[in-house]
Structure 1
Amino acid sequence: MYIVRGQVHEPTMQYFFRKLEEKNLSAEVVQMKWSPKMDLIALANIQGEVVLHRLQWQRVWLLPVPAEETSKIVTALAWRPDGKVLAVSYESGKVFLCDVENAAILHKMEMGLTVNCMQWINTDDKTNSSNGNVTDTNQDANHQDIFQDNSYTYLPKMAPLPKSYTTTNRGTGTDVHDIKRLQGQERLNVLVVGMASGRVQLYAFGIAPVGHVDLKEYDSVLTPKEMKSVMLSSDLHTLWLMMEQVNNATDESACQGILLSCNSTLLSSRRIEIAQLSAKYGKISSLMEYLNQTVKSMSEAWEDILLEMESKLNKYAESKPTPGTVCDDFLQLLMWGKSCQELQAFLLHELTEKGLKKLGHSVENSYCNIQKLILKNLQSVGQMLLFHLTELKGMSLWYDKYGVLGLSPASVQDAIIALGSFMLKANELLQVIDSSLTSFKAFFRWLYVIMMRLANETVPPAISKMNQKNVNFVADFLTENFTDNPENEGKTSGFTLERVGQYLKKEDLQLVTDVSRNDWYSFIQSSPIMQESPLLYPHQPTKSLIQLHEQLQTAINTALNRPSTIIGQHLQCNSMFKLYNSPKKEDAKRSWPVSQHCVGSSLIYIVMLPQQVPSDSLYIIRQPDQEERSSKIEFLKLCFGTLGDSSLNSSTTSTSPACSQHQVLDACFYDDETLSLLLHEMNSEGENLSILCQLSLSALIRTQLFIKLSSGDVDTMLQKDVVSVDAGIHVTQSRRLENMKAGRFAVSGSRKVSCVVFSNFRRVRIFDMETEDDNEDESSDASVLDTTKEINEEENKENISLTG
């Protein structure tokens, strides 16, 4: 290996990296990411599908493009640090959190802009105390209580979600208390989402918004085009943003690469409070998801079963030649047992005995299902939401810890009031269902007897009896539902048979329930003091259940999202570094692969390729130290020359021609001390070969030859002089990839594996990075590969050249 200015080093290398698998893919790969905890790799293809594979390439699941997603382009993947949730972003700006067990979509977020990159980081176990010393937060009582929740011990148990929800989301539906899969989080983790136009959003545990940055607000001169990389330090103090902006107002293809450093004292100093607040957000969000699915199931349980009967009654009313309303005809039939010929024909030929019987069963089943959902699901989740919102209000009253984060007692109280109004409306719906069901049963039984008598059929004695109570029920039903409709001019009568369905529509109620005879309501109306009491939930008589549900969602979102705005105001962009310029129009589609990694609690490393791949060099950027990390950066430029000859291919007896210059295809951090590289070489015989190698990052750090760059420098980093590096730097492991023209790769230091994609992006090769290959196995493997060499050569001819 050699570093800029021509120093060449050829350390002795062995044949590392044992090949595990080589597989073809059904579509071109655009994104891939190894799980940090399990031997799983997620791949997104050009068709918008996300596929999860095990190390031995058994497919775990395939996530198709969601039905509501308009774009098929997956822009980024990110694993939660515990490996149980995968974040997938699409070009449309939607982000989905998927359960690793069954691909169930746990959470959805709408960004409004194209997501360019994502990073999901774990915070460290330590935090700075007030005196500046580092203390172990595991010894802090508050830290121990972050994720402890005993509410489920005392609150009512929630019933399993309806089957329609579990079927849609492919979940089991058993763990209704943890729909978002948040239990078991040992410490705070943050999902950082970088979007086009210079926007960045931070989500604790992947769902709770805890800050945002809009670069256009930071500097009006900036014209962000694409976010290349986002990285948050483990201590939550520094956020690095690498982006491209338009460098020429008349030519948008002329881009400039810049690196911005943002600091947040509030975010880093209130980590424990943010973790507690985000955990509470997660519980409330899970309960709201449960509530949303319950309301959706109620709407599905309600069918437009009475619309057909209403249309038939309207048709009869319009064609009825005799004077009077339809209500008059039915009341005459109820009181005297006689009716006009038109009504008899309507009952026997239009409504029919079979149709009425079917209608009665449908109404009863529908109303009973809605009642069960309210009693078993809605009331229990309402009590749990009230408990957590009340706790959240108590937290908001402690201003020094939570109020300073933007948690407002007034906004939380508004959410509690909205929840109370919603639950009052749910209880009102229960009463309406009970009274409607009783009236419908009495009306259908009476009308069924009448139709049997008109058809000269024998009426069973069990249903033929009509006492005065049943007569009153039928009369009340006719009076309430067969009323004149003044809005329908020119029509004899209007019908409102569906008193329950109006509660499940996004519009005001047409038939308002009369509560004037309610003693409690009368008492409240007679007492001005009680009307002004904050302890009483307001009753909104004209609003439907769906309308109040939307109001509840808005109130909770307002209360929970306000901290994101306040914390975002403390995320200040302090430094801006110019990295490169691409003034030529033909460079508009240049690719600038970057990889970032956080070492320790605060030190961030970024690897950047300064030109279209394959690149002649790469840059390693880092912060100089704790004090200067907001105003300066350090960088080092690396170039690769002769890596050796036969040492790279010990499986063959003949030596391969040495290459004097290697180009970089891809670079990725393997762990805190190692940088993985995918190199391209063209030897003297004109063969295009690929090399997978490991570079000692710790050896680079010890050189002390990083060049400092201040934010005030006007020259770009690429224009800086680069000094030589001494002979202490070396490639620790390396392997030439036989019969393979590589394109990209993904590595995992925690799982000690890598996945290299061919240049056609439709074939992958898996390597064990910590095992030395057996020569005998490699020889047999080489013989097999030789049989497909001609096929691979033909395939390579069709691929887009990476060296052009």
Structure 2
Amino acid sequence: MAQTSSMKLLGARNMTCIVERMEWNNKMDLIAYGTEKGEVIIQRLNWQKIVTFPTPGEDVRVRSLSWQMDETLLAVGYSNGKVALLDAESETIISGLIYEDDIKKVYFSKAINSQETLGTYTCNAKDKHRKFLPKLQPLTNIDPCLKTLDQKSFPKGSPCFLVVIMRSGKVHLLLLGALQAGSIDLTQHVLHPEQFDVYDVRLNGDFNAIYALLRDGQQLKMLHFHNQVLQECMAPMLELATHCAHILETKNYINDTQQCLTEAWETVQLEMDNKLTKYANAQPYGLISAHFMELHVFGFATFEVEEFLTLSEKGFKKIANSVDLSLSNLQGLVFKQLNAASVNMIYFLNTIAGFGRMSHFFESLISPEMANEAMRACGAFVLKVHEMQKTIDTLVYDMKLFHAWMIFTILRLSHQEIPDDLVLTEEENIALADFLCSMEPEIEDRSDEEDESEADLLSETPPPTRNKFNLERVGQYFENAQLTQPYTKDPSQLWEQMVAENECLNHCNLFVPHDKQLSLVQQRDKMFNAIDAVFHKPTESISGSFKLASAVLCADLPPMEPGEALEDRDFVTCSYYVNENTKCDMLALTISWQEAMILEVSRAGDCLLRCTKIQLQPGIFTPALHEDFYHLRFVDLQFYNESALSMLAQTTTSAPGIRPHSYFIQFSLAAARNQSTQHQMGTLVKLKEATVTHSIHDVADGVAFKGLDGVCEMLAVSGSRKVATVLSDRKRKMTIFEMEVEEEEDDTEMSQASFLEISKESVLAGAGDGEKTET
């Protein structure tokens, strides 16, 4: 009846908490599982724990786990709408996405062949920018553990789709984890959205269609959507997605650099000693410049200034050196990191603008107008970076003059010998006087512009707080507000003079605009918004290209009643596999507690659908079996490989004192194909009326059983790794088996005979325990 197969027990272990999700890596001996606490743990086959990723929030559950093909990257979907990409090798969070709805499932598609061609266009997987752009320097001030989800680099490796399925029925596609490659709302394609539930949504093997398994009222349907844009533009999309990933990485680098700039600027402010701050805040607005100018021009110091100058020469030199060092760090971040990142951004956006001119390939993906607008916004950001760099250079020069003059003044008032290098030249004296005058900029008089009531309120408003000797000239660039002290025009710059004399140049699209009123933060946000607008086009084109090609009615489901859990009425679980050998997409699903269905959709162009419908109960002509065979129900199923389906079953008998039995079932798909039916994929396919259900016991040489200890509730298998894992004892015990082992005396054979012997022994033992309990 069953072909003998072998599996070897590798070990079992009681877990410290309930395990809710499991997933094997198809290449390495790594298994990832999510706990009830929202943690994700990755361990090896020998139970060695590699890394534990903490929960992203309180009361957050792990909804889904998926390994990227042949990589150490794991996608995790959480109940709070977060999707995180975790790297088991570096033990870090690579990147993340945040959605507003609960996650149903998240998974990586199979790898996309990056060398595929479309007409005369060839997708080039090489990063040509590395020949022209220097590598961005690492930001040592940023702690990788403190970076938020949306600040990480994007994953490398085989190109593939990341598919995010929401419980609301919305499905999002991302190419390379970066480019938003369309979305679809399944509730718009059902007849009964009030009785809707989505079980799974999968990309087909050619990446030009999706299969959606869902509930529509009291029907279990598989909807097949075709997408023309995905079919025609896959190669250009890969090129665009690669540059999109580079742009997003550069955006994150700019954000990180700006964070470092803010921290470096705060360090500059802190290095301005508390005594300097105390003196500055104790003076009425306008007197600081007056007192310092009086000291500079006439050599007389007021009582407040003399009290301020009680610092020793060494003490002030220490403060000056600290401030100079902090300002030098600030200069380096702007000149090296921020400037290099903005140049990189110009390069990538210019490439995308060039793509937009090849309308034959990129017409559906890129709007040339949006790309050019993003280029202009990026150019404006480059100008703002240069503007801030000049402002910082000016401040550094002024602060060095101020510190030298302060040391000179301290030595002069204390009647000490003054070194020659501290004596300022005439040009330096003029620059120092300008700096002292600009310490406290004039406040605009708004009394003529407002009524008396508003003027009274203004009179009660305290004077503006100064940022330690008018350092706002630099600090204002890090605020999300317009500049209070805009950069003054340089009369020696002929271009600025020409723009000032010809207003039309400001409105010409051929030139980059330079808005001197915006801060660096505002200019950055403006650039980011323009870049986001560039990538709206592929999302809109792909989303609008989803067309319902076929609806397959799989089975009838009981009605959804308010307050009643679905699992109490029906049981639907599924597994998906892309068979490259036969060019078909395989979907296995349970349609009830005792029935399952294997669908095979051909991608060869013949539009054939093969259906194999099986049940756990014995058939009419099935020989007599052990009693347990008459009371089995499905618990879980998963494709082991293209030729076998692994299933987990459990008895439904509830005799007093006897626990249900669990069984591992290995089902041969090749042996069952003789029991399948073929259908043409049309607009509507009703499988219920055109298929016949067969008992798995009647499939010759097609099924093998293995009795398991405990009440098993979840299954995870990997045909490439030849392992199987089951969860038992209320999901607290994990048992790992090695599959396809060579037959030895110590191996456990999965056969009908061994299953009967094991089940009989367990039944007798359970009955004996029950009698002892009753006595």
> CA 1:379 to 1:93, structure 2 compared with 1: closer, same or farther past 3 Å?
same
Q: What are the within-5 Å matches in structure 2 for residues 65-464 of structure 1? A: 65-66=55-56, 69=57, 72-122=60-110, 137=116, 142-143=121-122, 145-166=123-144, 168=146, 179-182=153-156, 184-185=157-158, 188-218=159-189, 222-223=193-194, 226-244=197-215, 247=217, 257-303=220-266, 305-306=268-269, 312-313=278-279, 315-318=281-284, 325-348=287-310, 357=317, 359-403=319-363, 405-451=364-410, 456=414, 458=416, 461=419, 464=422
Distance 2:682 2:707 in 1: 39
> CA 1:610 to 1:354, structure 2 compared with 1: closer, same or farther past 3 Å?
farther
> CA 1:690 to 1:330, structure 2 compared with 1: closer, same or farther past 3 Å?
same
Residues 35 and 41 in structure 1, CA contact (< 8 A), matched pair in contact too? yes
Q: What are the within-5 Å matches in structure 2 for residues 510-589 of structure 1? A: 510-517=484-491, 518-527=493-502, 530-577=505-552, 579=555, 580-585=557-562, 587-589=564-566
Residues 2 and 704 in structure 2, CA contact (< 8 A), matched pair in contact too? no
> CA 1:92 to 1:86, structure 2 compared with 1: closer, same or farther past 3 Å?
same
1:549 Cα offset (Å):
1.2
1:428 Cα offset (Å):
0.9
Residues 632 and 650 in structure 2, CA contact (< 8 A), matched pair in contact too? yes
Q: What are the within-5 Å matches in structure 2 for residues 701-716 of structure 1? A: 701-705=673-677, 712=684
Residue 664 of structure 1 corresponds to 634
Residue 596 of structure 1 corresponds to 576
Residues 483 and 494 in structure 1, CA contact (< 8 A), matched pair in contact too? no
Distance 1:523 1:709 in 2: 68
- Could you say what secondary structure the match of 1:401 adopts? helix
> CA 1:12 to 1:568, structure 2 compared with 1: closer, same or farther past 3 Å?
closer
1:107 Cα offset (Å):
1.9
Distance 2:693 2:75 in 1: 41
> CA 1:494 to 1:686, structure 2 compared with 1: closer, same or farther past 3 Å?
closer
Distance 2:539 2:464 in 1: 55
1:222 Cα offset (Å):
2.4
Distance 1:660 1:411 in 2: 65
> CA 1:150 to 1:493, structure 2 compared with 1: closer, same or farther past 3 Å?
closer
Residues 633 and 709 in structure 1, CA contact (< 8 A), matched pair in contact too? no
Residues 30 and 45 in structure 1, CA contact (< 8 A), matched pair in contact too? yes
1:315-354 Cα distance to aligned partner (Å, 9 max, x none): 4224x9xxx7332122111112212223323444xx8878
Residues 123 and 234 in structure 1, CA contact (< 8 A), matched pair in contact too? no
1:221 Cα offset (Å):
5.4
Residue 639 of structure 1 corresponds to 616
> CA 1:141 to 1:362, structure 2 compared with 1: closer, same or farther past 3 Å?
farther
1:516 Cα offset (Å):
4.5
Q: What are the within-5 Å matches in structure 2 for residues 57-72 of structure 1? A: 57-66=47-56, 69=57, 72=60
Residues 33 and 42 in structure 1, CA contact (< 8 A), matched pair in contact too? yes
2:554 corresponds to 1:609: no
Residues 291 and 301 in structure 2, CA contact (< 8 A), matched pair in contact too? yes
Matched residue type, 2:186: L
Residues 610 and 676 in structure 2, CA contact (< 8 A), matched pair in contact too? no
Distance 1:231 1:567 in 2: 16
Distance 2:558 2:690 in 1: 13
- Could you say what secondary structure the match of 2:101 adopts? coil
- TM-score normalised over the length of structure 2: 0.84
2:23 corresponds to 1:29: no
1:620 Cα offset (Å):
2.7
- Could you say what secondary structure the match of 2:109 adopts? strand
Distance 1:104 1:494 in 2: 42
Residues 317 and 492 in structure 1, CA contact (< 8 A), matched pair in contact too? no
1:257 Cα offset (Å):
4.3
Residues 97 and 108 in structure 1, CA contact (< 8 A), matched pair in contact too? yes
> CA 1:538 to 1:620, structure 2 compared with 1: closer, same or farther past 3 Å?
same
1:609-652 Cα distance to aligned partner (Å, 9 max, x none): 334xxx2232334447766859x88462422449xxxxx9xxxx
Matched residue type, 1:232: L
Matched residue type, 1:161: L
- Could you say what secondary structure the match of 1:688 adopts? coil
1:563 Cα offset (Å):
0.4
- Could you say what secondary structure the match of 1:363 adopts? helix
> CA 1:616 to 1:492, structure 2 compared with 1: closer, same or farther past 3 Å?
closer
For structure 2, the residue ranges without an aligned partner over 5 or more in a row are 446-457, 620-624, 750-757, 771-775
Residues 583 and 602 in structure 2, CA contact (< 8 A), matched pair in contact too? no
2:33 corresponds to 1:43: yes
Distance 1:124 1:353 in 2: 68
Distance 2:265 2:133 in 1: 29
> CA 1:708 to 1:522, structure 2 compared with 1: closer, same or farther past 3 Å?
closer
> CA 1:759 to 1:619, structure 2 compared with 1: closer, same or farther past 3 Å?
farther
Distance 2:200 2:541 in 1: 24
> CA 1:396 to 1:57, structure 2 compared with 1: closer, same or farther past 3 Å?
same
Residue 501 of structure 1 corresponds to 475
Residues 696 and 729 in structure 1, CA contact (< 8 A), matched pair in contact too? no
> CA 1:225 to 1:328, structure 2 compared with 1: closer, same or farther past 3 Å?
farther
Distance 1:48 1:354 in 2: 56
Matched residue type, 2:526: Q
Distance 2:389 2:426 in 1: 26
Aligned length: 720
1:676 Cα offset (Å):
0.5
Distance 1:441 1:163 in 2: 25
- Could you say what secondary structure the match of 1:382 adopts? helix
> CA 1:691 to 1:340, structure 2 compared with 1: closer, same or farther past 3 Å?
same
Distance 2:140 2:120 in 1: 39
2:727 corresponds to 1:757: yes
Residue 754 of structure 2 corresponds to none
Matched residue type, 1:60: I
Superposition RMSD in Å: 3.7
Residues 395 and 402 in structure 1, CA contact (< 8 A), matched pair in contact too? yes
Matched residue type, 2:282: Y
Residue 427 of structure 2 corresponds to 469
Matched residue type, 1:606: L
1:540-578 Cα distance to aligned partner (Å, 9 max, x none): 101111111111211112112320111110012344455
Distance 1:550 1:77 in 2: 34
1:715-755 Cα distance to aligned partner (Å, 9 max, x none): 8x779874446944444543222x33211011111211111
For structure 1, the residue ranges without an aligned partner over 5 or more in a row are 1-9, 127-135, 248-254, 643-647, 649-655, 780-784, 798-804
> CA 1:48 to 1:609, structure 2 compared with 1: closer, same or farther past 3 Å?
same
1:56 Cα offset (Å):
1.6
> CA 1:155 to 1:229, structure 2 compared with 1: closer, same or farther past 3 Å?
same
1:586 Cα offset (Å):
6.3
- Could you say what secondary structure the match of 1:394 adopts? helix
1:373-422 Cα distance to aligned partner (Å, 9 max, x none): 2222222222222222111111111112111x231111111111111111
1:606 Cα offset (Å):
2.5
Residue 4 of structure 2 corresponds to 13
